[in-house]
Structure 1
Amino acid sequence: MADRGGKKLRIALCHPDLGIGGAERLAVDAAVELAALGHDVHIFTAHHDRKRCFEETIDGTFPVTVYGDFLPRHIFNRLHAVCAYIRCIYVAICMFFLWDKFDVVFADQVSAVIPVLKWKRGSKVLFYCHFPDLLLAQHTTRLRRLYRAPLNWVEETTTGKADCVLVNSEFTASTFSSTFTRLQARGLRPAVLYPAVNVNQFDTSLDNPPDLAFLPGFPADGHTFLSINRFERKKNIALAISAFATLVRQQENSQLTSVSRQLVRLIVAGGYDQRLAENREYLQELKTLAVEEGVAEQVIFLPSCSTSQRNALLAACICVLYTPMNEHFGIVPLEAMAAQRPVVACNSGGPKESVQHAKTGYLCEPTPGSFASAMALILQDPSRAEIMGKNARKHVEENFSRQVFGERLNSIIQDLVKGIS
């Protein structure tokens, strides 16, 4: 089958760990859409757990090949970055020696693979920078700074070797330029390719009552607020719990609404990896916070929810709370809006480019009071949430659908192969 807008190409994707995070979702979306456009697509990775992955990676849409899973992810819970570099470079070396040339290789997260991927003449390398890794790493001690210095140099140097660099938002593009000053001086300006969401996957949930059998005893009445994020401290999930507690206290003291304490609840769901100490520790911290805030009976924790469970939760909630500050982009707001649910998010980073304030949701200061005020507006007038939800769906369909993403990516790749900068 010929693709739209260009010739059929052999395209490889090189991704570190094919799990269920936002970066993995983007890589899988890229593979799905490029395959749908007629390209021969193949994903290479250092880890792929078939029990904890996106369905598209195991349904035969494209092949997934794993190299280097035997290599350590860390050494005594240290040297995570070095181990990630080694694992990914091993994947790239295997691609070079064991496979014929690909027309284009789409790499992301670990730029150190780019020089290896370019060993084969004629292969174009496209690098997708979700965010500069050096800004995500800790530089709190002299030892850490010494450890990171060569890695930071490698990141900037190898990123500059790519034939094309993409980023996920204007926010990240600005951060990229101010961080990689050597690349900026060379005139390298990354292009923005927004992540996407499969809008149609939410249609069934919208047309039918949500199946919440996985939440035994869940009350059928009342209003549910939903927070979806990985259980990591940088996701600032504590803000959702504190904002919900503030809302509950406001409801108790207000005579302006008939919504009682028993009829509002918060579900905290998202990615959870038992292997990661931070995930385990942060979940416990959040449970303790709910007790301290006096809302433990109204907050439900659901780690490691499946895609079908997430869709059911989106169908059951009145709005979604998105709490990370200065998030690079954020896929959860797109999923919420595709499911016709307004989003209450921090007025910073990627959400400023995806959420339309007072039309598809609210952009707030990262304080419990600010979030609670926006939540109260939606709670006091549910029709407001319905109108915002319809606006949100239309907004996502026109700007952030997977089809739009695929066509833009295909256009970039075709230009890259033709040598058009």
Structure 2
Amino acid sequence: MRVVFLHPDLGIGGAERLVVDAAVALDRKGHQVKVVTNHYDEKHCFKETRDLDIKQIKWFPRTIFGHMWALCAYIRLCLAAMYVCFNEDFDVVFCDQVSAALLVFKIYSLFNSNFRTIFYCHFPDMLLTKRESSMKKLYRSVIDRIEEWSTGMADMICVNSEFTASVVRDTFKSLQNHQLRVVHPSLNTKFFDSIKVGSDVDDLISHAEYTFVSLNRFEVKKNVKLAIEAFIELKDLLPEDLYKKCHLTIAGGYDPINAENIRYFGELKKYAEEHLEEAQCRFIRSPSDEVKVALLRSSRAVLYTPDREHFGIVPVEAMYCASPVIAVNTGGPLETIKNNETGFLVNQTAVEFAQCMAKLVENQELYLKMKKKVCYSFF
């Protein structure tokens, strides 16, 4: 089978992890796989992508004078879809994030109907943007209609969680009668098992007795600041000698050309420097897979701070590495974490996160019980 994956930006993130894992799995099964994207940087990607057949289509700018990001993303991926139609032989197109490209394939199907399209909806884009002005509201109303209309053109619509499925049905009224298939993101367990931590990686890992890890892209919606606030609150809940044995590692995807990544990383680092001892907090930008796995394996717990997260692959990765997870009690984590068994599901407050962190520091029996159960309970 000839499969084309169409993805806007093949960087480092949960959506990219899903696309890469699916592409690699199909490639290893003997299928002919091609990945077409608008942006790919070998210095900022998952290393498995280097073995894939990847084509970049960069015929249109990311923005128009710093504005119209969504419109430009639509045009860029539609151009990539046109390239696929006229230059590739394919049986299945797997498209995600930007549904507008399905318009191109719908038109192309009038002349060639020997293919099928799959759209994987991570979350409705219309719910991820602000509408500060009347002009922005007008602009987004057009973009939002295109998103809903084009999503319904897919032969199959997949979503990453039951939570996302419910949101899609509530948001896209015209899709209420469409079948939505819940396909949870996968985990390449063989890859995790194969990773060996060398001395170069070991130098980046904290050897404190109690290390807490936050692993998220440096974006405001990921609410990484909550992890720092919780670590500050932890000081009031533990004896001084125990708190000094604690460490916080903030790691995540960081794109040097992404303005939000640059700004938010700077804000977080400044906040941590103002409230924590330098020796107790470390920041790691775009950690390699080896570093990420080493962090998860060595953590007392992973702090997962996003609210209403669509699915959340990090908790799954953490649990496979036998690390309990403390997460916000909304969205995807409700489907993957067993409260008080494989982790804690709490309100989005620093105090509640800190209380769970303190339990895992002071109660060794509880920690070992969770550590033993996280992997086997989920898998």
Please say whether Structure 1 and Structure 2 have the same fold, judged by a TM-score greater than 0.5.
Answer: yes
Q: CA RMSD in A?
A: 1.9
CA contact (8 A) 1:245 1:295 kept: no
Q: Distance in 2 between matches of 1:210 and 1:249?
A: 35
Q: Distance in 2 between matches of 1:138 and 1:71?
A: 24
- Tell which has more relative contact order, 1 or 2 (C-alpha 8 A, sep 6+): 1
Q: Distance in 2 between matches of 1:286 and 1:40?
A: 43
CA contact (8 A) 2:308 2:331 kept: yes
2:8 is aligned with 1:26: no
2:169 is aligned with 1:180: no
CA contact (8 A) 1:89 1:116 kept: yes
The corresponding residue for 1:236 is: 223
Which one-letter code corresponds to 2:73 in the other structure?
Answer: A
Which one-letter code corresponds to 1:282 in the other structure?
Answer: Y
CA contact (8 A) 1:177 1:189 kept: no
- The two structures have a TM-score, normalised by structure 2, of 0.94
Which one-letter code corresponds to 2:133 in the other structure?
Answer: T
Q: CA deviation digits over 1:238-267, x for unaligned, max 9?
A: 1100111111222147xxxxx533211100
Shift of 1:296: 4.5
Aligned residue among 284, 294, 300 for 2:282: 300
2:368 is aligned with 1:368: no
Q: Secondary structure at the match of 2:94?
A: strand
CA contact (8 A) 1:340 1:386 kept: no
Q: Secondary structure at the match of 2:66?
A: coil
The corresponding residue for 1:95 is: 84
Shift of 1:383: 4.0
The corresponding residue for 1:105 is: 93
Aligned residue among 143, 149, 152 for 2:144: 152
Q: Distance in 1 between matches of 2:287 and 2:266?
A: 17
Moved more, 194-203 or 172-181: 194-203
Shift of 1:309: 1.1
The corresponding residue for 2:300 is: 318
Identity within the alignment, %: 44
Q: Distance in 1 between matches of 2:82 and 2:339?
A: 47
Q: CA deviation digits over 1:13-69, x for unaligned, max 9?
A: 11111111111111111112222333222111111111211111112xx311222x2
CA contact (8 A) 1:107 1:125 kept: yes
Q: Residues 180 and 209 from structure 1, CA distance in 2 versus in 1: closer, same or farther, beyond 3 angstroms?
A: same
Q: Distance in 1 between matches of 2:224 and 2:271?
A: 11
CA contact (8 A) 2:59 2:79 kept: no
1:254-333 matches, within 5 Å, as 259-333=241-315
Q: Secondary structure at the match of 1:260?
A: helix
Shift of 1:210: 7.9
1:201-240 matches, within 5 Å, as 201-203=191-193, 212-215=201-204, 220-240=207-227
Shift of 1:85: 0.7
Q: Secondary structure at the match of 1:250?
A: coil
Q: Residues 211 and 363 from structure 1, CA distance in 2 versus in 1: closer, same or farther, beyond 3 angstroms?
A: farther
Q: Distance in 2 between matches of 1:317 and 1:211?
A: 18
Which ranges of structure 1 fall in alignment gaps of 5 or more residues?
1-8, 254-258, 399-421
Q: Distance in 2 between matches of 1:392 and 1:209?
A: 25
CA contact (8 A) 1:319 1:342 kept: yes
Q: Distance in 1 between matches of 2:197 and 2:217?
A: 27
Moved more, 21-30 or 374-383: 374-383
Q: CA deviation digits over 1:321-364, x for unaligned, max 9?
A: 00000000111111111111010000000000011111111101
The corresponding residue for 2:103 is: 115
CA contact (8 A) 1:13 1:105 kept: yes
Moved more, 78-87 or 376-385: 376-385
Q: Residues 80 and 312 from structure 1, CA distance in 2 versus in 1: closer, same or farther, beyond 3 angstroms?
A: same
2:350 is aligned with 1:341: no
The corresponding residue for 2:234 is: 247
CA contact (8 A) 1:244 1:372 kept: yes
CA contact (8 A) 2:234 2:243 kept: no
Aligned residue among 69, 73, 76 for 1:80: 69
Which one-letter code corresponds to 2:56 in the other structure?
Answer: V
Q: Distance in 2 between matches of 1:198 and 1:305?
A: 18
CA contact (8 A) 1:210 1:315 kept: no
Shift of 1:179: 0.3
Q: Distance in 2 between matches of 1:98 and 1:295?
A: 56
Q: Distance in 2 between matches of 1:64 and 1:383?
A: 49
Shift of 1:368: 0.7
Q: Secondary structure at the match of 1:243?
A: helix
2:182 is aligned with 1:192: yes
Which one-letter code corresponds to 2:75 in the other structure?
Answer: I
The corresponding residue for 1:162 is: 154
Q: Distance in 2 between matches of 1:209 and 1:251?
A: 33
Shift of 1:380: 1.1
Q: Residues 299 and 219 from structure 1, CA distance in 2 versus in 1: closer, same or farther, beyond 3 angstroms?
A: closer
Q: Distance in 1 between matches of 2:75 and 2:198?
A: 48
The corresponding residue for 2:60 is: 71
Q: CA deviation digits over 1:167-198, x for unaligned, max 9?
A: 000110000000001221xx113110001211
Q: Distance in 2 between matches of 1:208 and 1:300?
A: 19
Which ranges of structure 2 fall in alignment gaps of 5 or more residues?
none
Aligned residue among 41, 50, 54 for 1:49: 41
Q: Residues 229 and 221 from structure 1, CA distance in 2 versus in 1: closer, same or farther, beyond 3 angstroms?
A: closer
